[in-house]
Amino acid sequence: MKNALGSVDSVLLLGGRSEIGLAIVERLVRDGARHIVLAARGGTTADAGDEPQVAGSARPAEAADGPQVAESAHAMDAAVVRLKKLGAEVFVIGFDATRPETHGQVIDSAVDLVGDLDVVIPAFGVLGDQATYDADPVSAAESITVNFGGHVSAGLFAARRLREQGHGTLVVLSSVAGVRVRRANFVYGAAKAGLDGFAQGLGDALHGSGVRVMVVRPGFVIGRMTKGMTPAPMSTTPAAVADAVVQGLRDGTETLWVPGKLRLLFTVMRALPRPLWRRLPR
Amino acid sequence: MTFLTGWGRTAPTPAKLVPARTPEELAALVAKAPPRGLIARGLGRSYGDAAQNAGGMVVDVTAMRDRWSLDPATGVVTASAGMSLHDLMRALVPRGWFVPVTPGTRHITVGGAIAADVHGKNHHIDSSFGAHLRSLTLVTAGGNVHVLTPEDELFWATVGGMGLTGLIAEASFACVPIETSRMRVDVERTRDLDHTLEVMTATDDRYRYTVAWIDLLARGPRMGRSVLTRGDHARRDELPAGTDPLAFAPAARLAAPPWAPNGLLNRLSVRAFNEAWYAKSRERRVVQDLAPFFHPLDFVDGWNRVYGSRGFVQYQFVVPFGEEPALRRIVSRLSAEGVVSFLTVLKRFGPGTPGMLSFPLPGWTLALDIPSGQAGLAGLLREFDEWVAEAGGRVYLAKDSRMRAELLPAMYPRLAEWRKIRDSADPAGVFRSDLARRLSL
């Protein structure tokens, strides 16, 4: 239960290796959360045990996923150790964003492990780049399946559970990329635009149920996902996003811009005429 | 669905609020309890989430207030669980009887008084509500109705059990004979915390009712300066001739404004109030009515709204005698941090009851009212939780709205025993509340 001072006890992170997701979870644990479920591709359905699970044995998919996934898997293992050191009970379960038919089961498993879910954070996603999507439209459709479709099924299953329990917050990681879609990354931006709209609609549908949806709109996040890219102006970091999310949970914020000044910037950006907008360098 | 909060107006959750008028209706509701369970709710004076049940059912028992009886030979009263102490006082005081224990408000129900095992200014002499209880009628899981007495272990799991053993339908308890409806009150000021503890230790037993109001914003050599209020029921010969000795007509209530800005109670306004209150509380003896002595805040209806929309947190703990350093440490930390607590009350507890989750134990209890928007409050109170637990003390569940589960077994050493009895009375967990979920009770 969220307490009188806005601290929570249980958190489900879908996309358990997400840098932003883990940063949020770590802050919530520092603030008192004690029951954590990390749902990640290749995770097992058992308790994470005393030692972090060794990559490879529990996650057969990793080798095929390449070095970036191996790196994030390592980050999750390290996070599990840190979270436990901070006093939390941590469970790792399997989750595949591309298989919506399994998402209900994932939510149920999390509830079996920790009871009521105070915060659910679907943090999975792929960035990709527009040139690759142009060259391989199938990969573009697959990215939409993760960045939008997966969030819709996971979000709706989570919302059903939260509605039953009469409390809880769904944290949806949208992006300024979806506030107004740019030509430089319009496949990613379109997915985020869809997700943003979905999250707002879901939040309105849940109004009065005791459940909240918080839409988070970070700017360019300097982190593992954007490694090698030049940061855009008003960029942010996973740590800054996480700080803002934790404060937003405390305050019951519905729409969160990180950094906050992006709200004003995008009021202007949304009003820019198309001929001007399409000339933006990136 | 209705959104409910405790008296502190924090963390609202929705539940199906269902009224019950008779023990039979209680039993029927329990028999078809929803998956998220149910919990009883009286007048909503628990500060936190004790009478909330997110996504489940909350049974409003305040309509169960039509049945009561008094045995004039023994002073034993039998009353429906939804009767308030206010109702009871209006019935009993003119007949020469007073409730055995009243907390700082009389707008609580008999059921709530048992579930929280409430205490009052007479704890050092008379212990808590449960000590005066002769029997109680409890509707347990499955809708069975039990009449319990102090010989039953379920009785002592229910006294202080925060409503988690079942729905209380009715109770019998012994009242106190009074000659008048007035109090003879001595007011005295103390210089600092040590002086406060010293005077209370030396003189508490001369009075049936005692309490100290602490000026938490006073610093340095004046830290912990207090106003002591101590009293007894006045005798008939202490009243001026011609007055009706047992008249009981609490003044008509003022209503707090429906809305107040957050931060109205800030360091400045509370310091000004504290200065004025301390200054006006010169040593004196007065005779006053029951209501202003026991329930000064009841005069303002909905005073909890004055804290603004963010609400407030009440923090009450007790540390055993001999652990005064822990009390001193907390008071000096509060004073150093400049924590704004509008009403800070210190009281010496006497022996507790056998209630397994009952709060009072022999020692010092301090209660604070803190606006919930104060920066750093969560961390500060968590630190206090640890100091209190280390000192062998505990935090009061009826006031709590923010503690974590992990220190509970240390604070309530009989928690495991309570759980065993609760589990056998309610194996499926029909009786659930937000507090129970938050603290894994």
Which of A4, A31, A165 shows the shortest C-beta gap to B54?
A: A165
Q: Residue A228, class by beta-carbon neighbours within 10 Å (0-12 exposed, 13-18 middle, 19+ buried)?
A: exposed
- A277 part of a folded domain: no
**pLDDT band for position A68 (50/70/90)?**
low
ipTM value of the model? Answer: 0.90
Is the pLDDT at A55 greater than 50, yes or no?
no
Whether residue A188 lies in the annotated active site: yes
DSSP B205: G
Using a CB-CB distance cutoff of 8 angstroms, which residues of chain A are in contact with residue B381?
5
Residue B413 CB partners (closer than 8 Å, separation 6+): none
What does the block give as tokens for A138? 């199938």
What range defines the domain where residue A93 resides? 10-269
Question: With a CB-CB cutoff of 8 Å, which residues 52-111 of chain A face chain B?
Answer: 87
What is the predicted pLDDT for the residue at A57?
A: 34
Q: What is the arithmetic mean of pLDDT over B428-438?
A: 97
CA distance B7 to A278: 55
Q: What is the torsional sign of CA B417, B420, B426, B430?
A: positive
Q: What is the pLDDT of residues B55-80, one digit of tens each?
A: 999 999 999 998 999 999 999 999 99
Q: Do A4 and B313 touch (CB under 8 A)?
A: yes
Using the Cβ of B15 and the Cβ atoms of chain A, whether some distance falls under 8 Å is answered with yes
Using the Cβ of B406 and the Cβ atoms of chain A, whether some distance falls under 8 Å is answered with yes
**pLDDT band for position B438 (50/70/90)?**
very high
- Best residue in A3, A8, A211 for a mutation probing chain B (most B CBs within 10 Å): A3
> How does the average pLDDT of chain B come out, rounded?
95
Is the pLDDT at A279 greater than 60, yes or no?
yes
What is the predicted pLDDT for the residue at A282?
A: 67
Which of B313, B406, B434 shows the shortest C-beta gap to A5?
A: B313
Is the Cβ–Cβ distance between B107 and B86 less than 8 Å?
yes
What is the predicted pLDDT for the residue at A52?
A: 39
Distance from CA of A194 to the nearest CA of B (A): 30
Is the pLDDT at A123 greater than 80, yes or no?
yes
Count of helices and strands (H, E) across chain B: 13, 21
What is the predicted pLDDT for the residue at A229?
A: 86
The residue from A188, A198, A220, A257 that is catalytic is A188
Is the pLDDT at A172 greater than 90, yes or no?
yes
- A1 part of a folded domain: no
Using the Cβ of A116 and the Cβ atoms of chain B, whether some distance falls under 8 Å is answered with yes
User: b/e per residue, B343-370, with b = 16+ CB within 10 A?
Assistant: bbbbbbbbebbebbbbbbbbbbbbbbbb
Bond before B292 cis per omega within 30 degrees:
no
Is the Cβ–Cβ distance between B420 and B157 less than 8 Å?
no
**CATH at A228:** 3.40.50.720
Q: What is the arithmetic mean of pLDDT over B13-24?
A: 96
Q: Quickly tell me which residue has 């609020």 as its tokens.
A: B17
Q: Do A1 and B438 touch (CB under 8 A)?
A: yes
CATH fit for domain B182-402, picks 3.30.450, 3.40.462, 3.30.1040, 3.40.50: 3.40.462
Tally of structural domains, chain A: 1
Distance from CA of A53 to the nearest CA of B (A): 26
What is the predicted pLDDT for the residue at B17?
A: 98
Instruction: Give the CA angle between residues B356, B362, B365 to the nearest 5°.
Output: 95
Closest-CA residue of chain B to A252: B11
Q: Are strands A119-122 and B226-233 parallel, antiparallel or unpaired?
A: unpaired
Q: What is the pLDDT of residues B138-188, one digit of tens each?
A: 999 989 999 999 999 999 999 999 999 999 999 999 999 999 999 999 999
Q: Do B402 and A1 touch (CB under 8 A)?
A: no
Using a CB-CB distance cutoff of 8 angstroms, which residues of chain B are in contact with residue A31?
378
Q: What is the torsional sign of CA B169, B175, B181, B182?
A: negative
Closest-CA residue of chain A to B376: A5
Q: Do B56 and A1 touch (CB under 8 A)?
A: no
The most confident of the ranges A26-30, A66-70, A124-128, A232-236 is A26-30
Using the Cβ of B272 and the Cβ atoms of chain A, whether some distance falls under 8 Å is answered with no
What does the block give as tokens for B325? 């350093």
Distance from CA of B439 to the nearest CA of A (A): 9
Q: Which among B372, B395, B398 has a CA at the least distance from the CA of B384? A: B395
Is the pLDDT at A48 greater than 70, yes or no?
no
Q: Which among A259, A267, A169 has a CA at the least distance from the CA of A217? A: A259
Using the Cβ of B393 and the Cβ atoms of chain A, whether some distance falls under 8 Å is answered with no
